[in-house]
Amino acid sequence: MFDKLLFFSSFLLTISGAAMVLGSKDLVRACIALLACLFGVAGLYATLNADFLAATQLVVYAGGVVILMLFAIMLTGGSNNAVNRFGINKVPSMGDGKTLAFGILSGAVATLTIFKITKNVFIDYNLQEIPGYSSTVEQIGQLLVTNHVLAFEISSILLLGALIGAAVIARPRKS
Amino acid sequence: MSADNLNVYMPVVMLMFIAVATVVLALLVGKLIRPHNPFDNKEQAYECGEDPIGIAWSNFNVRFYVVSLIFIIFDVEGALLFPVAAVFKSFIEIGEGSVILATFALFILVLAVGIVYCWRKGDLDWVKGFTSEELQNLSKAKDAQ
Amino acid sequence: MNPTFVTYLEQFLGYPATNLMAAVFFLVAVSILVGVMATIGGLGTYAERKISADIQARIGPNRVGPFGLLQMLADGVKMILKEDIIPSKADKLIFILAPMMAMFGVFATLAVLPFSSGLTLTDLNIGVFYVLGVGSFVGVAIFLGGYASNSKWSMLGGMRGASQIISYEIPVTLSILVAVTMAGGLSFSTLVEAQTGLPHGWYLFHNPFSFIAFFVLFIGALAETNRAPFDLPEAESELVSGYHTEYTGMRFGFFALAEYVEVFVVCGIAAALFLGGYKVPFDLGNGEVLSNALMNIPFLKMVVPMTNGTPIFKLLGSGLGQLLQLGSFFTKTLALYYVVIWIRWTLPRLRVDTLMTLCWKYLTPIALFNLLGAATWMVVFHGKSIYQIIFESGAAQAVGGH
């Protein structure tokens, strides 16, 4: 009962958040909607017994990426000019024929995906199929230092590269 | 039955719900008893008694952005270190302590290189000092005015 | 839970009721906890004013109730009665959402706070990491509160607050990692049970690195909760009131409540990670010692019939043990809370650039070094604390001397 509730609330939060990101013409509001969407995704991870992934989703995305986006928005002076550069202030994604076509296409794909997901849930949803709850932290930790130790170390080098790249790009250039 | 084990998240969801519900309820109850007579001056943003000039949503300094960029890198680092730290003790217990320490230390040291680089290049300085050249240019610009 | 009641309920309702019972049970527990925490938040404001008055040789609130204890109720009533003003140029939706998000982030962290071994709402396996995750909502809320007001003071406070909170999250995370490395698990039960009741087994005194890590964590926690000397987001003398300048009445009250509860939460986490948490000296907390002791009291032996008296003793013992654990946890947490308030009324506020320097040039390198040091200590000394090493070497010498 509760797992269904958790799943459907996360699902609704994800979908409605994503829809609001698309529909909002205010950048900051879109950012909050994105936060809701990411939070919903964390809930979905929690339903799938991936507790560590869910917390990572919260720490990295809710705490880091959303704040970064908000700062980036403030860097450009907030969302006081909701009119895009084509002079259209209705919905940002409805720029011209090309974006409209793209939007419809992605909407169709999303709808099909949703139907595909919900079909399984409604028709052959079976409690027995869900494996028992167990923490994934220890498993992930073990794999990170045994089988995937190279990936773990390379990720640190990737992070180093990202750190230096971020610092270099954000550094004010001397004219 | 195994799905019941998701019940560990039950208090989490409840607390989140109650936190939001408390705010909504208190504001709704307050609506019945609190005064409500707004007028233009009252609804102005506070600017020490003056009429506010423009809006507050202006361009902010790039420093905030740099800080959050550096933060994200370390945030991801923390997220990667947590599972390794969680199994650290069990690896010591089976006698593989030096192996996991080497893995752990290498990961941290590589990122320490990053923070040393940022430090040396002055990206961690909140207020960057001017070079003497820049100072001269500034004074020239001032003289030109 | 009483299984017969569950089966009866299942027959009555016609579907499995275990979940329902769990839900009701948790709902009651959560409601009690929220009530207690709201009271603690309110008492926090009272303590703040009373202690600051003490430090400044004033009397402080003393009119409402005995010793002014009911001041928080008076404040609450006042806040509800205040007019709710939303600036006309504000982003109304975000303005309404921001205090809600602050409450959301803070109250969600309560779910894993270990009050005692039995009184933890849910002992998630990701424990501290979960706290870091949901706690980050507060930073977003402070930014949004500053942004939505469309006031320059608020905006400055919000930007400062968000950048400060995310910056200090790094040393805090790294210091928490020190405790995780030593305990070998992320859940609070693992972290607390790895320590002992007496100070020699606390992680604070485990090794020099964890000693430093505690102070880094505590300083970082001060900054994350916007407490002085890091209260730049709401610096009264320069930013009017910072991110909540435009908030009135109850909306402001929720920001304040969230802040005070968050201070309690971070103090509780610091106590759980480094000060032994709910552990009581001499294992009095686990109930067995107490129930054995109770059984040996001659007077009680006479009163309670011995035939079915033993389970009662066990229950009584474990109940008393839980109470002791609760007392231990609250003593440590409130002591830290007192220190937080003490620091606020003692130290002057930092400047923005010194704040960032402290975080990135001092605390973060120190925390990184600490983490490496603690990990090395664990490997070199096989997880033994300083106390154990000294004790064992002393014992070895004593044996060798004979």
Q: What is the 3-state secondary structure (H, E, C) of chain B?
A: CHHHHHHHHHHHHHHHHHHHHHHHHHHHHHHHHCCCCCCCCCCCCCCCCCCCCCCCCCCCCHHHHHHHHHHHHHHHHHHHHHHHHHHHHHHHHCCCHHHHHHHHHHHHHHHHHHHHHHHHCCCCCCCCCCCHHHHHHHHHHHHHC
Q: What gap in Å lies between CA B1 and CA C64, rounded to an integer?
A: 53
Chains that touch B (3 or more CB pairs under 8 A): A, C
Per-residue model confidence as pLDDT tens for chain C (402 residues) = 445 566 666 666 666 666 677 777 778 888 888 888 888 888 888 888 888 888 888 888 888 778 878 888 888 888 888 888 888 877 888 888 888 888 888 888 888 888 887 777 777 778 888 888 888 888 888 888 888 888 888 888 888 888 888 888 889 999 999 988 888 888 888 888 888 877 777 888 888 888 898 999 999 988 888 887 887 777 777 777 778 888 888 888 888 888 888 889 999 999 888 888 888 887 776 767 777 776 666 666 666 655 555 666 777 777 788 888 888 888 889 999 999 888 888 888 887 778 888 888 888 889 988 889 888 888 888 777 777 777 877 777 776 655
B24 near A CB under 8 A: no
Q: Is B74 on the interface with C (CB under 8 A)?
A: yes
- Helices C18-55 and C249-274, interaxial angle, to 10°? 100
Q: Chain A: give the shortest CA distance to residue B27, in Å.
A: 22
Establish if B59 touches chain C: CB-CB under 8 angstroms. no
Q: Say yes or no: B108 contacts chain C, CB-CB below 8 A.
A: yes
Task: Pick the residue of A58, A127, A128, A133 with the most C CBs within 10 A to test the interface with C by mutation.
Answer: A58
In this predicted model, what pLDDT tens digit does every residue of B67-123 receive, in sequence order?
888 888 888 888 888 888 888 888 888 877 788 888 888 888 888 888 888 888 777
**Cα B62 from chain centre:** 15
Q: Which of B1, B60, B106 sits opposite A75 (nearest CB)?
A: B60
The pTM assigned to this predicted structure is 0.85
Best residue in B6, B10, B13, B113 to probe C by mutation, most C CBs within 10 Å? B10
Residues of B in contact with A125 (CB under 8 A): none
Neighbours of chain C (3+ CB pairs under 8 A): A, B
- Computed on alpha carbons and rounded to an integer, the radius of gyration of chain A in Å comes to 20
Count of CB contacts below 8 A, A vs B?
160
Angle at Cα C371 formed by Cα C365 and Cα C376, nearest 5°? Answer: 125
The tokens for C134 are 């949901």
Contact B97 C378 (CB under 8 A): yes
Q: ipTM of the predicted structure?
A: 0.81
**Token output for C396:** 């070895």
CATH among 3.90.550.10, 1.20.58.1610, 3.30.390.10, 3.20.20.150 for B2-144: 1.20.58.1610
What Rg do the C-alpha atoms of chain C give, in angstroms? 24
pLDDT of residue A174: 61
Contact C170 B52 (CB under 8 A): no
Task: List CB contacts (< 8 A) between B75 and chain A.
Answer: 59-60, 63-64
Name the closest residue on chain A to residue B115, using Cα atoms. A163
Domain ranges of chain A: 2-135, 136-175
Check CB contact under 8 Å for B57 and A56: no
Structure tokens, B48 = 């020490």
Return all residues near C45 (Cβ < 8 A) that are at least 6 apart.
Answer: C71, C72, C75, C256, C260
Distance CA(A7)–CA(A29), nearest Å, equals 25
- Best interface-test mutation with C: which of B74, B75, B84, B118 has the largest number of C CBs within 10 A? B74
Cβ neighbours of B85 in A, within 8 Å: 141
Q: Does B107 touch chain A (CB under 8 A)?
A: yes
**Dihedral (C-alpha) A3, A9, A11, A14: value to the nearest 10 degrees?**
-140
Contact A43, A13 (CB under 8 A): yes
CA distance C239 to C258: 20
All chains having 3 or more CB pairs closer than 8 angstroms to chain A: B, C
Burial (Cβ within 10 Å: 0-12, 13-18, ≥19) of residue C181: buried
CATH number of A2-135: 1.20.120.1200
The Cα angle at residue C261 between residues C258 and C266, in degrees rounded to 5: 115
- Rg over alpha carbons for chain B, rounded to the nearest Å, is 27
Is the Cβ–Cβ distance between C227 and C343 less than 8 Å?
yes
Give the separation between CA A141 and CA A138, rounded to whole angstroms: 5
**Chain B contacts in chain A segment 90-119 (CB below 8 A):** none
The domain locations on chain C are 1-81, 86-401
CB interface of C with B, residues 92-121, below 8 Å: 99-100, 103-104, 106-108, 110-111, 121
Length of chain B: 145
